[in-house]
Structure formats: structure tokens, C-alpha cells
Structure 1
Amino acid sequence: MKARPAMLTSDCQPDAKTAAHPCFSADAKHTNSRLHVPVAPKCNIQCNYCNRSYDCVAESRPGVTSTVLEPWQAERYAEELIASDPSMTVVGIAGPGDALANAAASLETLTLIHANHPTVALCVATNGLALPQHADALADAGVSHVTVTVNAVDPDIGKWLYAWVRDGKNVLRGRAAAELLWERQREGIAKLVARGVVVKINTIVVPEINSGHTGEIAAACKALGATIHNCMALVPVAGAEFADLPEPSAEEMATARAAAAVHLPQMEHCARCRADAVGRIGAPMGPSQFTVLERHASTAKPGRTLVAVASQEGMFVNRHLGEADELLLYAEAEGGGFLQVGIRQAPEPGNGAARWHDLADLLEDCRALLVSGIGPSPQEILRASGLRVFETEGLVEDLVPKAFAGGEIRRMKKPFKCGDGCGGNAKGCA
């Protein structure tokens, strides 16, 4: 009689935190809760099967969240939920982008939570592109488990799975992108294992592309020290490159898992969780859970009472931050509504990142900044300072109250085009 492939059970994982981790232990999923804190909106890879959404409550899949939290908001959110649920043994970061494409926010969040809850397992999901750079920092922050999505160890297969890979300012495509990604994944996994971090491998199984490649993936990752493998069926998502591809059949998935199980135990209870998932695996989020999350997302950092606006004439939010020489300041009025309370001169162009650090200091009493466009560098610096930045367009009288109320303001749909006065290079504000 042919032996059954190795499937995941808690007895193959001696570590106590692993045995209590519902994503790593089939037994723990029935008794233990987990919390995903959505603090990582950006991604450094565009997978052909992915379409991220930051304000969705209807779908249940990776890359989806109802809102995005700042690290200090995530820490308070986790504090409330851990206190209310004794079975919550894991807090993780799983997007909606990539945890390490948002390394500063992710590491700050993990450090804050670990300081107050050292017995709670900390978990991170990543594509692995930036893993070698941050593996030691993850271990130092108290992370005990990392999931790395490895879809190919052969770049001639991987080249079909990614539209592009962004390594710093360099954008790679095709075979070069897949080759670099696997190189970084290989190095990062080995570093994590050397630090005692438990590594799980996720693989999105795409028919006729990598469905026959799972055995090679599992073998290569086992050699690096990974201990668990999760083969996940492709879910066609509207707006993604693979939107029209079929899902793999049950037979195809069984074959893919059997090939991988020769090398690594297989996780079969994955529920393809949202980036803001909370509770037991497989249990849908209810309205009350979304309400708690939104309440924390709308909480302003203490001492921040104003809203700053980039506007040409004071009526509309219609200036790109890089072109704004001044910002209008608004405060909430005592009887309701809001009023303009001042104007602040923005730092002079130039000086690279120093310009945006100066602006962060200038706006230390502001809870939000409304602009019609912003580059990735200022957005990251301002966000890290505790300022919520909204890229949008519309009437000041409509948008400022929303900024005071908290929650999300929809990003404008049309792409921003730099004006004639912009001296940039179309790669972000300088």
C-alpha cells in the first residue's frame, strides 16, 4: 500500500508557539485565534494573479483589507483584541502589500506588540524580495514564524508569474525578475533558519505554468531549512493578468500537493485569509469586527489636531505635494464644522529626503495631509511620522471633514501628471 504523503499536524512541530499557531498547526486552527494587522500597503512585486484592494469588506482573499493602520494604531488595536480573546496566540502582518516593502512600518508594529506581549507569536508573510536585508531585524523584533511565497525555483517558469519586480529603483521583468526573486528568497530563507525562525512556504498553483513544479519548489526550500509547505489554488481575481485563467481542479491540487509532500509536510487547512483577518481560521469577519478596526484606523495620534491641505486657491485639493510652496491648515470649530487657522510655508525643493523630514516636523500637530499627488519617498517618511496622507481631489469643504472624522478617503482614480513646474524625473518627488 502506498504511503500517504506527509500532512501537517502539530506533532511534527515541537516548538510551543508553532503548536499554538493556527496557520502552522492543523490542530490549533480549531482552538486558537489569529490577528492580521494591515500596516503594509505597498508591494515591490506585481504578481500576475494579484489585485490588491485597500477598502474592501466583501472579498476574502490575500491582498484585501478594509483599511490600513499606522504602527501605533495597530499596536492599540492588537492590545484590545488580545485582551478580549484569550485564545489569540498569533499576531501577523500579511499585507495588503508586502510586509518588507513596508519594512519600517512592519518592524515598528512588531516591536511595539512584542514589547507588551512577548508570549504571542509574531508572524510575517512576504514575497521574499527584501528578506535578506531584513531577516535579522525580523528575528530581533521577536518574529518566530515567516511565510515566504515561492512560486518557482526555475526562472523559466517564474517569468510567467510576475509582471515586474522592483528592486530599489530598478524594475526587472521576465526571466531576470524571476531569477533575482528566487536568489533573494533563497538567501533570506537561509538567514531566517539560521536565526531559529520557523519558515513556511506558500505556493500559488497555476495550471499549466507551475502546477507540475511543486515538487522542485518543496525540495529546494527543504534544503534551505523550511519545514512546512502550503500549496494554494489560483483564485482568478478581476483586474489581474490571470483573471481569465481557470482554477486548478481538485485532482490537479491533489497531484501538486502529493509531489511536494515527498519533501515537506503539507498544510491543507489554509483559508486564504484577508490582510485584516481576525479570529479563527475559516470564520468570516462580522460587522462588529470591521467596526473595531475602523475605530482604530480613525483614531488620531495624540496631539495632532489639525488637517493640512495642498490647494492652489483654497477651494479644492488640487496640488501635488512636490509643487506646493505652502499648505493650508484647518481646525475643527467648536460649534461643528471647520475653519482655516493658518498657512505654513513648505520646505524648499531639493535636499532629497531631508525635505520631507523637515515637512514631517513642520506638520507634527496635523493628523492628516490632503494632496492631489505625492511620490513614494515623502509618503513613506510622512506616514512614518504619524501623519495620515490622502492622495485625492475634490472640494476642501467636502474632504476636510472626512479627514477629521477618520477612516479612509478614496484615492482619485485618474493618474497624476506632473505639472510644468515639476523638476522631477517621473520616479517620485525629490
Structure 2
Amino acid sequence: MELKVIGQSADNTAESGCSASGCGGSSDQLSHLPDHIRDKVHNHPCYSEEAHHHFARMHVAVAPACNIQCHYCNRKYDCANESRPGVVSELLTPDQAVKKVMAVAANIPQMTVLGIAGPGDPLANPERTFDTFRQLTEKAPDIKLCVSTNGLSLPDQVDELCKHNIDHVTITINCVDPDVGAKIYPWIFWNNRRIKGRKGAKILIEQQQKGLKMLTDRGILVKVNSVMIPGVNDQHLEEVSKVVKEKGAFLHNVMPLIAEAEHGTFYGVMGQRGPTHDELQNLQDKCAGDMNMMRHCRQCRADAVGMLGEDRGDEFTMDKVEVMDVDYEQAMKKRADYQAEIEAKLEAQKSSANETFIPLTALTKQKKETRPVLMAVATSGGGVINQHFGHAKEFLIYEASMTDVRFIGHRKVDLYCSGGDTCGDAETTLQKTIRLLEGCEAVLCSKIGYEPWEVLEESGIQPNGEHAMEPIEDAVAKVYAEMAESGQLEQQRQADQLQAGA
């Protein structure tokens, strides 16, 4: 949906435009790409910012072994409550994985993508990985197939990847300098030998760059993931972004290090911190000068199921899948109809939005100065504000300005209230949520209770429940306009200047 104007000049000419999937969001994010590439990613939730509001993905855990060791990784099993890469509850055989995929696809019509991402490296387990892909290419031809890899074995597997319905590959590239790599990778397993330190990192980097170029030469879309590790590669990732763009990658995903001590990783045990929200955003903005940035990544488990930001894996454990009666041919028709409805709805929104304006005429006439504002949004999907503040497990963060609304990331939080007698620690949880929303000046949700409303206001965060079921970016733009017209942004700017002077 095109939100045609946020700001207008005095003569009613548009100053700038934005998309309802987020100014700087998926429509703008992909607008420069050729049509055939946009067609590949328009309903891929891991590649398109707009698609992640409407379509679902699934990962199957068929690849247990890994050929490198990363200081931020600890592969775990039976960790249903832990959400991060490398974690799974069930390791599947290829036959089990195919059966599970078809069951999920029959029950979640939004599902468009199946990926293999672990818990080890898919290409270090080529027989299991490609057996899964071979079966799905035949039995579920309507599902896009993806693979995520560290890239060490990638050059040897490009030909095999091209034989299947795989046109999206993600490579995790954390450095292009072996000295930096030696601080991240203690060893790689290469040609039947364990190679340590800088020498191992150098081989890994060379293989990653070679494989990246081979894929893009074949027309396969490549997204590059990079883990931001403060003090290790944070100053280096701008260079990584430049290099992978030159090699043909079309999307860069800079993710924060997850390093809680309880996860048992080397970095976690040694006290390596992850980046702050501001540090991550600043680095993403710097890298965005060289290529498209992905900001909606949830760093999913290796067995994730459902929309980004949710996990429905418990509904599809193998004991439940085994007793499901799936008519996949019929399910495929229903899925096609459902997804066509979604796309028709999005197309209608784009058409109707050509006449939608969010005027800030008064501001431009008076030449008022405004500043960007961060807002948190509670949503359960669909690109609209449709979630109660107390039910949110995460908030999407948007930055609004006079001429733009852009999605900049998400922040996971504990449930403030899950009902019943589980809210006894609500005050502590609410205070933690407020700390996680630091920097935000408004929270947009469908509803919010009196107690959290008061606490948020006291903390300088304005709750807003007036835009339920409205498109997110439209609502963010409206709230920003209200803040600007009331003089709130100017007042805050003056307060900030006074505080800085003091």
C-alpha cells in the first residue's frame, strides 16, 4: 500500500512518499531490483520485509553435523523454550522432514518457504539435506526451498543446489579478514583435518567468497548473514557489506550476538556482550549505504514453524504429524487460493493508497523543525496493529520523521500478562519491558490496561490504542503528525538542548 505523502509543502506538492509496508521497508527495499527477482522474493518472509507480515516459513532439522566451530554457537536439542539458531527439539530423518513439511503446509496456508538451516550446517550433511530437497521438489512443488550455510562446503555443492527448486541461499559471513576470523572461529574441519586459528579462518573466507560468486553467477539469490560482535567484528562489517555486494549478494542481515551465559557458548561463558539496540541500528544504517539491509530477522530456531516472531512447532511434533491425514493435492489448491487472497488484498491496498495522504501542511507552512521519533508497535501479523500490549512477546520498532516511516527492527520482551494467576510478577516484567523499549516515545497497540498505561506515561512513553486494525505505517505516520502538530517534538528538542547545555 502506497502512503503517498507524509509531508506536503504549502502549495500542496508532495515532498516525499513512502510505502505502507514501511518507508524504507519491503517495497522500497526491493524497488530497484529487476522484476524477475522481485517475483522470487515478494512472498518470502525471510527476504522481503513486507512478506514477513503475511507469509510463514518453516525450518526442518535434518543436518546435525557441522564442519566449523563458532564461538557464538552451541547446538542444543530438546530446548523447546530457547529460541535461537542451532537449537532444535527433534532431529528428523529426510522422510520425517518431508512428512512434517506437508502436514504443516496443509494446516498453515500462509506457508511459502521451507528452509534447512541446521542444527549443524546443511552442506556438511549433503546426503540428508539433498534427499530432503529431492523429495520436496517432487511432492511439494509449490513451496520455495532455501538453505543456510556457513559456506565452507558451498563451492562443491553449487551444482547440486541448482538441480532442485532452490533459488535462495543464505551464507553466514562474519568477516573477510582472517585475523578477525581467528577471533570468531577456533577451528574448521577441512579435507579430513582440523585446521585452527588464522589459517582455518582464511580457508573459510576463501570458500565463502568463491561460493557466493558461483551462486550469483547462476542467478541464485544470496542473502548474507553477519553476527555483530562488539569489539571483534563490529568495526569490520562495513567492509564485509561492501565485499559481498561486489560479489552479487542482494541482501545483508546484520544480527546481534546472542551471548547469554546460560546458553553455554564460548562467548557467553567468557562474558562477551552483545550490541545495544543503538549500536546495532547504527551499524545497520552504515552498511545500508552499500546494499539492502534486512532488519526483520528473528534469528529463528533450526526447527521454527509459522510466521516470523511466532513458533508453532509444538503443534507439529512427529508424534502428532504421524497421525495426521493429509491430502496434499487438495491442500495445495487451498493454499494457492489463500495466498492469492493475500496478494489481492495487498494489491488493493496499494491502489487505494494512491489517494491516501497524511498531511503535515501546517508544519511546513510554519517551518517547524521536527526530529525523528521511535515508536513500538504490537502486532500479531498481517501488517496491522492488532495485539494487546499485555499479550505482546515482541514489539516492532519504527522510526518516523517528517518525510519518512521506516522499520528498523524488533525487540523481544516477556509477556506482561498471560492470564490467570501468572501476573503476580507483572510489575517487574513491565519494568523490564520499559527498559527494552528505551528510546521509544510511543507504543501503538490494539488495547492496553490502566496500570501499564500509567507506568508507561511516567516513563516518558506515550501509550496509544486508537489505531487498532489500521496498517502499521499509516498509524505511525498519523501519530507522528499529531505529535508534531501539538509542538511535542519541538518541546522535546528544546529540552534536549537544555540538558545537553547543562
TM-score range, shorter chain: 0.5 to 0.7
Residue 177 of structure 1 corresponds to 200
Aligned partners of 1:298 and 1:37: how far apart in 2?
A: 19
Alpha-carbon spacing, 1:178–1:92, altered in 2? closer, same or farther (3 Å): same
Residue 108 of structure 2 corresponds to 85
3-state SS of paired residue (2:145): strand
Residue 259 of structure 1 deviates from its aligned partner by 2.2
Residue 164 of structure 1 deviates from its aligned partner by 0.8
Residue 267 of structure 2 corresponds to 242
- CA contact under 8 A between 1:67 and 1:297: conserved in structure 2? no
Residue 278 of structure 2, aligned match among 229, 251, 256: 251
Give the residue type in structure 1 aligned to 2:211.
Answer: G
- CA contact under 8 A between 2:305 and 2:313: conserved in structure 1? no
Residue 255 of structure 1 deviates from its aligned partner by 2.2
- CA contact under 8 A between 1:129 and 1:185: conserved in structure 2? yes
- CA contact under 8 A between 1:122 and 1:145: conserved in structure 2? yes
Residue 100 of structure 1 corresponds to 123
- CA contact under 8 A between 1:51 and 1:239: conserved in structure 2? yes
3-state SS of paired residue (2:171): strand
3-state SS of paired residue (1:92): strand
- CA contact under 8 A between 2:62 and 2:129: conserved in structure 1? yes
Residue 56 of structure 1 deviates from its aligned partner by 1.5
- CA contact under 8 A between 1:93 and 1:123: conserved in structure 2? yes
- CA contact under 8 A between 1:164 and 1:171: conserved in structure 2? yes
Aligned partners of 2:118 and 2:223: how far apart in 1?
A: 16
Give the residue type in structure 1 aligned to 2:219.
Answer: G
Residue 12 of structure 1 deviates from its aligned partner by 4.6
Alpha-carbon spacing, 1:294–1:98, altered in 2? closer, same or farther (3 Å): farther
Aligned partners of 1:239 and 1:86: how far apart in 2?
A: 37
- CA contact under 8 A between 1:214 and 1:257: conserved in structure 2? no
Residue 286 of structure 1 deviates from its aligned partner by 5.7
Residue 31 of structure 1 corresponds to 54
Aligned partners of 2:284 and 2:25: how far apart in 1?
A: 9
1:194 maps to 2:217: yes
- CA contact under 8 A between 1:201 and 1:230: conserved in structure 2? yes
Aligned partners of 1:86 and 1:214: how far apart in 2?
A: 37
Residue 61 of structure 1 corresponds to 84
Alpha-carbon spacing, 1:275–1:107, altered in 2? closer, same or farther (3 Å): same
- CA contact under 8 A between 1:21 and 1:32: conserved in structure 2? yes
Give the residue type in structure 1 aligned to 2:149.
Answer: T
Give the residue type in structure 1 aligned to 2:61.
Answer: P
Alpha-carbon spacing, 1:294–1:253, altered in 2? closer, same or farther (3 Å): farther
Residue 231 of structure 1 corresponds to 254
TM-score (norm 1): 0.66
Aligned partners of 1:275 and 1:78: how far apart in 2?
A: 14
1:283 maps to 2:310: yes
> CA deviation digits over 1:385-429, x for unaligned, max 9?
xxxxxxxxxxxxxxxxxxxxxxxxxxxxxxxxxxxxxxxxxxxxx
Residue 30 of structure 1 deviates from its aligned partner by 0.9
Identity %: 40
- CA contact under 8 A between 1:35 and 1:91: conserved in structure 2? yes
Q: Which runs of 5+ in 1 are unaligned?
A: 300-430
Residue 153 of structure 1, aligned match among 149, 171, 176: 176
Residue 272 of structure 1 corresponds to 299
Give the residue type in structure 2 aligned to 1:11.
Answer: S
> Greater helix percent: which structure?
2
> CA deviation digits over 1:139-160, x for unaligned, max 9?
1122110000000001111110
Give the residue type in structure 2 aligned to 1:189.
Answer: L
3-state SS of paired residue (1:162): coil
Aligned partners of 2:312 and 2:106: how far apart in 1?
A: 18
Aligned partners of 1:258 and 1:70: how far apart in 2?
A: 41
Residue 295 of structure 1 deviates from its aligned partner by 4.2
1:30-49 matches, within 5 Å, as 30-49=53-72
Instruction: Pick which of 58-67 and 78-87 moved more.
Output: 78-87
Residue 264 of structure 1 deviates from its aligned partner by 1.2
Q: Which runs of 5+ in 2 are unaligned?
A: 1-17, 325-502
Residue 263 of structure 1 corresponds to 290
- CA contact under 8 A between 1:70 and 1:105: conserved in structure 2? yes
3-state SS of paired residue (2:189): strand
**Aligned pairs, number:** 295
Aligned partners of 1:240 and 1:294: how far apart in 2?
A: 31
3-state SS of paired residue (2:77): coil
Aligned partners of 1:270 and 1:44: how far apart in 2?
A: 24
Residue 312 of structure 1 corresponds to none
Alpha-carbon spacing, 1:42–1:12, altered in 2? closer, same or farther (3 Å): farther
1:135-154 matches, within 5 Å, as 135-154=158-177
Residue 62 of structure 1 deviates from its aligned partner by 0.3
Residue 11 of structure 1 corresponds to 31
> CA deviation digits over 1:323-357, x for unaligned, max 9?
xxxxxxxxxxxxxxxxxxxxxxxxxxxxxxxxxxx
Aligned partners of 2:136 and 2:32: how far apart in 1?
A: 28
- CA contact under 8 A between 2:44 and 2:113: conserved in structure 1? yes
Give the residue type in structure 2 aligned to 1:32.
Answer: F
Aligned partners of 2:126 and 2:161: how far apart in 1?
A: 9
- CA contact under 8 A between 1:68 and 1:297: conserved in structure 2? no
Residue 288 of structure 1 deviates from its aligned partner by 2.2
Residue 297 of structure 1 deviates from its aligned partner by 8.3
Residue 123 of structure 1 corresponds to 146
Alpha-carbon spacing, 1:286–1:130, altered in 2? closer, same or farther (3 Å): closer
Aligned partners of 2:220 and 2:176: how far apart in 1?
A: 21
> CA deviation digits over 1:362-387, x for unaligned, max 9?
xxxxxxxxxxxxxxxxxxxxxxxxxx
- CA contact under 8 A between 1:146 and 1:199: conserved in structure 2? yes
Aligned partners of 2:167 and 2:77: how far apart in 1?
A: 27
- CA contact under 8 A between 1:136 and 1:195: conserved in structure 2? no
Aligned partners of 1:80 and 1:273: how far apart in 2?
A: 20
> CA deviation digits over 1:148-193, x for unaligned, max 9?
0000001111110011111131111111111101100011111111
Residue 240 of structure 1 deviates from its aligned partner by 1.1
Aligned partners of 1:83 and 1:265: how far apart in 2?
A: 33
Alpha-carbon spacing, 1:192–1:230, altered in 2? closer, same or farther (3 Å): same
Instruction: Pick which of 11-20 and 66-75 moved more.
Output: 11-20
CA RMSD, 1 decimal: 2.2
Aligned partners of 1:298 and 1:213: how far apart in 2?
A: 50
